[in-house]
Structure 1
């Protein structure tokens, strides 16, 4: 594994009016645009990118579907909404996209609008199962860092919630207790047990910060799926987060004894799982300002400082893999704050949630007039 990995994205979006109000049109969108799929609530829509290794091609792969969706929405005087929660929407009411889907029945009855969120799932192709499960352990223990970089959901129902990622706080993690998997066999037996006991309804009903994925879960696996990130609308930042994730996985390949928590931590597997869960909650509350606990020894560390350490650690590998420039947007995020922090700063000066959202709607649309990182204006 001396080359870049395949990378694919599952992108969930909210649709709504230019003033930031949520408006559900998923049924109509999926009827007319075949590369989009419905979520249980029709205020959400999702698209999935094909696996690509080259970062130079990923920006356009992410932006092209957004342009198609925006063109469709503009005919109805609607737009794409930034953020990962119903910032101005009604979280008391579930708006079904498919009233006859029995799985959606279960979701609505069990979770309600807690699941009505938007996020980015980042998938990295890993065929070697021993590498895959070592990578899953490392990423599980560092998932809070990726949430901190991506946090974009401080609002709900027109109010500040006090959280940087309200999405992660409200989303129902399922099952509640997920171990760090020792290997593929451990994962298979655990999933089979969850299905037998009813903790999971099907193999997809596994909602956690990071999970293995593949063509026939849990038996055939070929990728790591990071699920913790809030929606990142700036593709340069999203690709920087992806590059950091990829470099952490490649670090496992190069130096497993230094980077696999089962080999390099002073904590046992139960302590590591508990530490990771607590870190995720802390990052949801204060993101880059949060105090986390390092998986190597459990010591406390400010999230920004941990990210600075990791970026310094991966720098030689980034140079070797040609990813140094790709990481640059992260330094700006660490210095100036993620989207949630910038929104909350504007909100603290007296700007309304509506005004904050409207500025970001305009910025999100402006990005789509450019292709790739080169900033070439579309004709």
Structure 2
């Protein structure tokens, strides 16, 4: 059986590499000098190929922490890795820390390690993590062949590096968290998706889990986005450190209309945001601005299709804070294609658009793309 049988490349956000016997041949702590072993060219080439497809790389090595200090002295190698962990702790714990530092789910990691024991330990304690031996890496790369690579994917590693700078500045900042967020000068722009933004919206639908309302498949999203009465919105964000790129996508269904011809409701079969903006208020700001736009268009109600999962608790809390509650309308056909197939695990949450609507966080500047392009 192939090591990648049943493997979903869309679910992989970071490949974690062991060092001794995996990234290089020797054991670093046994080196007679401070020089690190020479990395295997094939391993570096694989890391670069993954980065070109938007897949991050990190390190989990059971070794002396001083090895990481020595790696810092080799910037051309160290620059390939984010949130590296080098210590005597269990590999499973290292992987948990990497996922936390990167703000991604542990199940979005793949471990490459030459030790059957280390792979077994991770498989036992983190059953959602795929583990591979170094000789399996070509099969891993082959699993990504032929898949569309967006501009956002190609920039992902650089943007995570920018996030490391942002995080370091936050740790040095003398003031409250909110004061730091204000200082960052974050700006969110929202508008109808352009043709070149659609691939990134499909990618968000496939790859996001924490901030994903329904898990709508990319194929179904593409189909609905091109159908009458539907529109796809995207959100972009920047701050003083640089561009986040497209961090959110929302599909809006406006087919339900009143006798006056205005939309009776804006229904959102999918709301998905990148985990990179978690904790910054962008998800709330995107949702709240969509609600405002719905009211400006004459809609009387706002609805979101929710499929609760173990991963999207953050999204469920956001929807509740926005005042959305389960409605009696269980027609999820718009979101899924067959209402009967998903009625058991999906719900429609709704709220009136009359009265006061929640406001975006004070530290975030929100505007419509039409305004910024005027």
TM-score bracket, normalised by the shorter chain, equals: under 0.3
Counting helix residues as a fraction of each chain, which structure ranks higher? 1
Structure with the bigger percentage of strand: 2
Work out which of the two has the higher radius of gyration on C-alpha atoms and give 1 or 2: 2
**TM-score, structure 1 as length reference:** 0.25
Higher relative contact order (CA 8 A, sep 6+): 1
Give the alignment's TM-score, normalised by structure 2.
0.25
